[in-house]
Amino acid sequence: MPSLKPTLSAIGCPMTATPILQPGQLEPAAGAIAELYLPPAQLFAARARRFRQLAEGHSLAGYLLFLARLAEWQQNELDHHPDLPIPTPHLLAQCREHAMPPLAPAGWPRQPQWQEAARRATDAVNQQLPHKGRQALASLLAADSGWLEAQADALLRGRMTDLDLAVAPLIGAALQVQWTHLVRQLQPHQIGRPEHPALCPVCGSHPVAAVIRAGGTTAQGLRYLHCVLCGSEWHVVRATCSQCGSTKGIDYYGLEGGQAVRAEACSACRSYLKILQQQDAHADPVADDIASLALDLLMGEKNYATSGVNLLMILKKG
């Protein structure tokens, strides 16, 4: 598999910080906007195209192209996914009443189909990998059910030290397909507001990044967090830290010369989450997050820790 360690000399660009507007200047009245967007049917196809676009001239081009092929596989799997059980209307109503995500992995069990899907993902990407890359993925092809489930648990619960990092993106990709399929069987009105704005109201997972909506709709200019697992997007008021709720000491940081992706940083809890402007119709939270690894490294140098999670690029910390 391509290396995940670009050199600082290749990405050591200076950053700029920009203050942002206050909440009252940005948000319409409650109830006037869509609180939740469920993932579109062509989510992974659009992501694959974005990976290929971002790969051009990029220091991580090999890995971005690998992920483009993986996203193409995800779209094919989603298009042909078998039916799976979904929560009953009664359970959905209970979850909505108590602000609980109905498809949280801890409460809504994985269906075993994801394991064979992960093996199919390996077959789909193996052909473009060098020999060492194919060797690194061999453990997934040979793994038994218990090992795969343990890896999925570690990935979803953030226990990165228990992960086989070589196969984690394949496992993450297969889980994303299953949860995206499940979520697409629901309707936004069946889902309540999350108890904590930093977690997806549908599946309880962390966001990978945030997007500022464009396109002339009532959501234009508003911030939506994008779920790393199911692909749903939920509204969180801007100028507020999604982690700790602080409205003070929030700044945007970006690499000079490129404003498509910025880091929304909170000085109170020293966390940041990347934020994308959707004026670029091709921008994708998962793809653009990985392509902007330079920003993560430089935010780390400023002693900020990301609150985002990307299942397709797991980096050990420390």
For the CA atoms of the chain, what is the radius of gyration? 19
Residue 63's pLDDT is 93
Residue 258's pLDDT is 62
Residue 12's pLDDT is 36
Over the chain (318 residues), what is each successive 10-residue block's mean pLDDT?
Answer: 33 45 47 88 97 96 95 98 96 96 94 95 86 84 94 93 92 98 97 90 97 75 95 92 90 80 94 85 92 94 95 76
Residue 132's pLDDT is 79
Residue 50's pLDDT is 96
**β-pair type (305-306, 271-277):** parallel
User: What is the Cα–Cα distance from 243 to 271, expressed in whole angstroms?
Assistant: 8
Residue 253's pLDDT is 93
Residue 20's pLDDT is 44
Integer angstrom CA distances of residue 270 from 86, 157, 250, 265, 299? 38, 22, 10, 7, 10
Task: Provide the strand spans (E) within the chain.
Answer: 15-19, 36-37, 207-212, 223-227, 233-235, 250-255, 261-266, 271-277, 305-306
Q: What does pTM read for this prediction?
A: 0.89
Domain spanning 9-306, CATH architecture = Alpha-Beta Complex (3.90)
Scan for tokens 């910025």, then name that residue. Answer: 262
